[in-house]
Structure 1
Amino acid sequence: MKQKTIAAVVGEVSISSAEENTKKPRLGRPRSGTEAERLDLLLDAATTVFLKEGYGLASIAQIARAAGVSTRTIYETFANKSALLVATVKRLVVNELTKVIEDGVLDTCTPEAALTKLGTVIVTRVISTDAIRLYRLGLAEVARTPDLAENVCKAGPMHTESLVAGYLRAQVDRGTLRIEDPIMAARLFISMVTSAPLHHALFGLMHRIEQTELDQHIESAVKLFLNGTLPRNK
C-alpha cells in the first residue's frame, strides 16, 4: 500500500478542522461554552480573515462579523489587530507543543524518544497549510510593519525555541544531556528538523514527500543532535 504523503496527512487535518469550524455557531455573541472555547472561535475567524484578506486589508470589524461577536468583545481581549494576529500565530504554532511539554510525559521518555516527539510536533505544525500561509503573510509585512514582524517572530519561532530550551535545560539538570547553552541548542535542533520540510512547504513541494521520509528525516536529525549532547563516559 502506498504511503500517504505528509502533505496529504496535513491536508486531512486542515479539512477536518475546517469542517468543524463550519459547524460552530456564528449567531450573535457566544453565550455558551468555556472562555477557551469562545477564544478558539474568535481565533478561528481571525485566522480565516487574515488568510483571505492579508493583514493590511483585514479589519477588526470583519473578524467580529466572521466570529459572530461585537468589535467591543474583541477589544476586551486584544488591544489591536496586531495583538490578534500574534495570538493566532501562537495558537497555531506553539499551543500543541506547550501541552506536550507541560503534561510531563516527556520526562518519562528517553531523550531520543522525547526529541522525536518534539520534532514531530514542531514539523507538523510548521508545515501545516495555515502556518505556511501565515508565514508568507508575515514575510510580506516585514518591510511595512517591522514591529509586527518582530512580535510574530516572538510568538512563533522564538517561543518555540524557549519551550524546547526548557526541556533541554531540565535534561541537563538530570544529567541526561550535556549542553552549555540550551537556547542555542534548541535553535539548532529546531533548524535541523524543520529546515528542509519548511523549504519544501514554502515552495509547494510537500506532495513529493511521503510520511515515512519525513519520519526518517526527524529520526536522523534527532540522532545527529544527540551525538553532540549526550554525556561522554570518562
Structure 2
Amino acid sequence: MKSSDSLPTRGRPRTQDAASRRQVIIESAYRAFVELGFANTSTAEVARRAKVSKRTLYEVFSDKQALFAAVISEHRHLLLDLPRPEDEQCALDESLFRIFRLDVSEEQSLEREAILRLMTRESILFPELSDYLYETRAVSSREMLMDWLQSTASEKNLPLDDAAVYAGMLMDVVFGALMPHRRVADFREKQVIAEHIKRRIQITLRGMGWLPA
C-alpha cells in the first residue's frame, strides 16, 4: 500500500488547467480585439480562437466587457513597469525611463503600440467601456505612478505639491509622444522618439525640483 506521501495531490492539476485556460482566452481575446475592435469581436469568435466552448468562456468571464477589462489588465505592464524592485538603485530620471519602458525591443514596442491604440480607439468609440475599465481598476496606471511619486518623494525628501498633477503630466509627456498622429513603422525613428521623451522627462523633473537645474 502506498504511503500518504506518495499519493497524488488532488485539485492542483485542475487549478493549473483553469489558470491556463483563462490565459489562453485572454490572449485570444487580445488578438481579436486588436484585429477586429471591440464592437466586431464576439464572444463566439474569442471562444473559437481559444478552442473552448462559449459555455466555458462564460464560466470564466461574465460578459465581453469583463473580458476586455481582463485583456487590458493583463497587458498594462506594457505601459508602466510598476511597482519597481525594492532594491533598485538608480538615478530618478533613469527610474522613470524604466517605468515607462523607453528602452524596449522592437517586438515589445509593437506590442505596446497595439495596446495603446486599442485602449485609445475603444475609449473614444465606447466611453462607457472606458468608465468600466476605471471602475474595475483594470486601468490603474495613473494611481500606480502617483504611489511611486509619493513614496519616492518621502524616501528622498523631495518636493511634491500634487502627485496627481505630476503623474498626469508625465503620462501626457510620454504617451502623447508614443501615440503620434501618423503611424511610425521605422524602429530607428521610434528610438529617436524615445530619446526625445527622455529629455522631456528630465525637463519635467527639473521643473519639479527633482533634478538639478
Structure richer in helix, relative to its length: 1
> Do they superpose with TM above 0.5?
yes
CA contact (8 A) 1:96 1:121 kept: no
Give the deviation of 1:44 after TM superposition: 1.2
Separation in 1, partners of 2:201, 2:25: 36
Separation in 1, partners of 2:17, 2:209: 44
Separation in 2, partners of 1:126, 1:164: 23
1:214-225 pair list within 5 angstroms: 214-225=193-204
CA contact (8 A) 2:72 2:139 kept: no
- What does the per-residue CA deviation read over 1:59-116, in whole Å, with 9 as the maximum and x for residues that have no partner? 2122112112222332233221011112112222x2356664253354x222121111
Give the deviation of 1:54 after TM superposition: 2.7
TM-score of the two chains, using structure 1 as the length reference = 0.68
Cα RMSD of the aligned pairs, angstroms, is 3.4
Separation in 2, partners of 1:173, 1:213: 33
Separation in 1, partners of 2:78, 2:43: 26
2:161 corresponds to 1:177: no
Find the counterpart in structure 1 of residue 42 from structure 2.
59
CA contact (8 A) 1:168 1:182 kept: yes
Q: 1:105 to 1:52 in 2, by over 3 A?
A: same
* Equivalent residue for 2:168, pick from 159, 166, 187: 187
Find the counterpart in structure 1 of residue 83 from structure 2.
101
Whichever of the two has the greater Rg, that structure is: 2
- What does the per-residue CA deviation read over 1:14-71, in whole Å, with 9 as the maximum and x for residues that have no partner? xxxxxxxxxxxxxxxx979565543321111111222333322322122112112222
Give the deviation of 1:178 after TM superposition: 1.4
Separation in 2, partners of 1:208, 1:39: 33
Q: 1:71 to 1:155 in 2, by over 3 A?
A: same
Q: SS of the counterpart of 2:38?
A: helix
Structure 1: 5+ residue stretches without partners: 1-29
* Equivalent residue for 1:80, pick from 60, 63, 69: 63
Q: 1:104 to 1:222 in 2, by over 3 A?
A: same
**Structure 1 vs Structure 2: percent identity of aligned residues?**
22
Q: 1:140 to 1:171 in 2, by over 3 A?
A: closer
Q: SS of the counterpart of 2:142?
A: helix
Aligned length: 197
